[in-house]
Amino acid sequence: MANRIVEVGYGNVNRVKIGGNQSLAFIGGPCAIESRDHAFMMADEVQKICDKLNIPWIYKSCYDKDCRSAPDSYHGLGVDDGLRILADIRDAFGVPVVSDFSDPAWANATGEVCDFVQVPAYLCRQTSILKAAAKTGRPVHLKKGQFMSPWNMKNSVRKLEAAGCHQILLADRGTFFGYNMLVNDFTCFPIMARTGYPVCFDATHSIQLPTSMGNISGGQREFIPHLVRAAAACGINALFMEVHNDPDNAMSDANTVLNLKYLEHVLGQAKATHELRLEMLDKFGEDNVHPEQ
């Protein structure tokens, strides 16, 4: 089972330790950086909630959304402007930041600013992306592709390790269930944890209905609390959710982001479930009911 601790943060920001018996970490923010003012407002609001709940967190927002469904969908502020805003958020709030990158050429710049670099699910087995992520020297947030089995993620882990990266967080964001539909198989958490790395649940992408609305994706965010409680009970080490103060007008993933006003409701339950699981681990020990596996 997972036994490595991934430590996110460099310089003057808080250090977030993910894995083992550490507190549940939260990775969240708006899907895309929409503007400097909006990014700062969101950081301020999420920080208040995480401080109130005493949850270690990492600010997530992307500078380039390269997997949008339609050619005219919002693509992002771009590498230079987006990373400048993330750097300023680090400085202003003392919070580590994460963004994904979709082109190996953007990896160095991303790693120079971000405490954590994210590999998009669609690209999770691309050797060039994985090598570039490892080369940044930052911990890597590796999302399981919707088309991947959890056991085959080990191949991507081995690619990162071969390139020198041994700080990896593995995330589930759902698995294709036919067309335009995802399903969560929560056996993926213990399976991916057998790589030795901590695991994360991406709740807001798990309820996505990929490109179900013709040229954009839909989503069923009413299920976020149910899935989050189940994932926390299953043994995740981190929870990922995209949040927005005005989902209907979000420039990216409007149908899946969690409304900011519900963040405390969901995060509070995630933390409580995680703590209950740790108590049960203390009381009953590891779930080793079929050692022959």
Binding site for other proteins (CB under 8 A): 149, 151-152, 154-155, 158, 191, 292-293
By beta-carbon proximity to other proteins, the closer residue of 148 and 216 is 148
Give me the least distance between CB of 196 and other proteins, in Å please.
10
**Least distance in angstroms from the C-beta of 94 to other proteins:** 38
* Residue with smaller CB distance to other proteins, 108 or 149: 149
Characterise 272 by phi-psi region: left (phi > 0), alpha (psi -120 to 50), beta (else): alpha
Angle at which helices 36-53 and 263-284 cross, to 10°: 40
Least distance between other proteins and beta carbon 161 (Å): 9
170/267 with CB nearer other proteins: 170
Give bridge partners of residue 227 from the DSSP assignment: none
Comparing CA positions, the residue from 286, 288, 275, 283 lying closest to residue 21 is 275
* Least CB distance to other proteins at residue 72 (A): 39
Nearest distance from C-beta of residue 151 to other proteins, angstroms = 4
Nearer to other proteins, 166 or 277 (CB): 166
Pick between residue 191 and residue 243 the one whose CB is nearest to other proteins.
Answer: 191
**Cβ count near 178 (within 10 Å):** 7
Minimum CB distance to other proteins smaller for 156 or for 255: 156
Least separation in angstroms between CB 205 and other proteins = 24
Q: What are phi and psi of 173, to 5 degrees?
A: -130, 25
